[in-house]
């Protein structure tokens, strides 16, 4: 049972966009221009959907039980945090509710798709974003009755079993983000690489499809500012290529920080929110507002 809820801090934008690869450790930042240029070079692995099997196909009931207990603990911890109070206050804000209601006008159901969660067995930090996705589904209530669809190429068979126990459905194809949005969908993508966001936009590069989407992920605005600052520096071309759809669509995006400040206070210095900072810093809601006749350009 997920409890009813009872910490984002501003970050260095240079560390906000991380690489998702098949053996990556969740949340490890790309720390300099040279490494960004190297790791963000487009590769077929991130361009084309492919079949997928867990990295570790062995099952173990004891590991599953221990991991489920850790997830339940993470849900309780997050559910009682000030961060979730601020997150849900933002979610209930009339501005967010208006955007969600527009999304749901032709349909009463909304799907949550979570990409890039990370290894929930190996590290605590990935368990917190998954816990937040579950709390968000609970908050959406009857509007989100479908299972949360989850994918990360690092997931093991044990992690897949625990996700199923939590009411999620593991996607069995590595979509590389290239999912066409057929129904209202919240794409939950904390700290994914720019290329994954860009693939998602490319697969939905029509106004009618973009309007069906909401992206909860790293700030598009921060990425745009970072690319402008990097122009002419090592790696800037790769950044613009990997994020070209993301950069172009910014003019049609209403971006809202994922959480508000509590009593006007910024919690980036609070020691008790360090773990939550790692999991949730620099995230925003992104709503797409464009007419059917919007010029989508040739990218």
For 45-81, the pLDDT digits (tens) are: 446 888 898 988 888 999 999 999 999 999 999 999 9
pLDDT surpassing 70 at residue 2: no
Better-predicted residue by pLDDT, 296 or 148: 148
Give the structural domain span for 212: 30-36+55-288
Supply 243's token pair: 């994020």
Q: φ and ψ at 172, to 5 degrees?
A: -95, 5
Token output for 218:
């790293």
**pLDDT, tens digit, for every residue of 210-250?**
999 999 999 999 999 988 888 877 767 777 788 899 999 99
Residue 36, pLDDT > 50, answer no
* Number of domains observed in the structure of the chain: 1
User: Which of 227 and 36 is assigned the larger pLDDT?
Assistant: 227
Q: Render pLDDT for 155-195 as a digit per residue (tens, 0 to 9).
A: 999 999 999 999 999 999 999 999 999 999 999 999 999 99
Cα–Cα distances in Å, from 157 out to 37, 88, 177? 33, 32, 21
For residues 275 and 22, which has the higher predicted lDDT (pLDDT)?
Answer: 275
Q: Which DSSP helix (H) or strand (E) runs through 253?
A: strand 253-257
Whether 1 maps to a domain, the answer reads: no
Cα dihedral 149, 153, 158, 161 in deg (nearest 10): 20
Half-sphere exposure of 258 (CA within 13 A, CB side): 27
Residue 157 lies in a domain: yes
The answer as to whether 25 is a domain residue is no
Structure tokens at 116: 């890039």
Could you give the CA distance from residue 103 to residue 184 in angstroms, rounded to a whole number?
Answer: 6
* Residue 283 φ/ψ, nearest 5 degrees: -105, 150
The pTM of this model reads 0.82
Q: Report the C-alpha dihedral over residues 53, 190, 241, 15, rounded to 10 degrees.
A: -120
Strands, E, within 47-182: which ranges? 50-51, 111-115, 148-151, 168-170, 173-174
pLDDT higher than 80, residue 206 = yes
Has residue 273 got a pLDDT over 90?
Answer: no
**Which residues neighbour 65 within 8 Å (Cβ) at sequence distance 6 or greater?**
none
Check residue 10 and give its pLDDT.
32
Percent of the chain residues past pLDDT 70, beyond the cut? 79
In a domain, 253, yes or no: yes
- Of 24-33, 145-154, 226-235, 274-283, the least confident: 24-33
Name the band, by pLDDT with cuts 50, 70 and 90, for residue 18: very low
Question: Is 235 a domain residue?
Answer: yes
In-domain check, residue 299: no
Question: Residue 15 falls within a domain, yes or no?
Answer: no
Task: Find the CATH number of the domain harbouring 210.
Answer: 3.40.50
pLDDT at 130 over 90: yes
Percent of the chain with pLDDT over 90: 56
Residue 296 burial (10 A CB sphere; 0-12, 13-18, 19+): middle
**Domain contains 164:** yes
Determine which of 17-21, 212-216, 271-275 has the lowest per-residue pLDDT on average. Answer: 17-21
Among the listed ranges 2-6, 188-192, 295-299, which one has the minimum average pLDDT value? 2-6
Token representation of residue 254: 């209403």
């Amino acid at each position: 049972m997920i409890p009813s809820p009872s910490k984002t801090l501003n970050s260095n934008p240079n560390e906000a966009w991380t690489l998702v690869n098949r053996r990556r450790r969740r949340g490890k930042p790309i720390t300099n221009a040279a490494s960004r240029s190297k790791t963000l070079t487009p590769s077929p692995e991130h361009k084309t959907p492919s079949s997928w099997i867990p990295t570790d196909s062995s099952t173990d009931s004891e590991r599953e039980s221990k991991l489920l207990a850790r997830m339940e603990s993470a849900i309780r911890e997050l559910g009682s945090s000030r961060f979730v109070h601020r997150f849900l206050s933002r979610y209930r804000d009339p501005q967010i509710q208006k955007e969600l209601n527009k999304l749901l006008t032709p349909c009463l159901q909304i799907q949550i798709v979570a990409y890039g969660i990370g290894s929930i067995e190996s590290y605590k930090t990935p368990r917190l974003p998954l816990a937040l996705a579950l709390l968000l589904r609970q908050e959406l209530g009857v509007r989100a009755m479908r299972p949360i669809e989850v994918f990360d190429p690092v997931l093991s068979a044990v992690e897949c079993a625990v996700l199923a126990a939590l009411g999620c459905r593991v996607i069995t194809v590595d979509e590389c983000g290239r999912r066409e949005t057929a129904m209202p969908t919240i794409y939950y993508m904390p700290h994914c690489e720019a290329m994954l966001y860009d693939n998602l936009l490319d697969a939905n590069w029509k106004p009618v499809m973009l309007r069906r989407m909401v992206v909860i992920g790293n700030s598009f605005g921060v990425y745009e500012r970072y690319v402008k600052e990097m122009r002419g520096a090592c790696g800037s071309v790769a950044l613009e290529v990997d994020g070209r759809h993301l950069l172009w669509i910014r003019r049609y995006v209403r971006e809202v920080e994922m959480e508000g400040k509590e009593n006007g206070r910024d919690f980036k210095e609070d020691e008790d929110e360090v773990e939550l900072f790692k999991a949730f810093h620099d995230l925003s809601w992104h709503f797409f507002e464009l007419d059917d006749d919007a010029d989508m350009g040739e990218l």
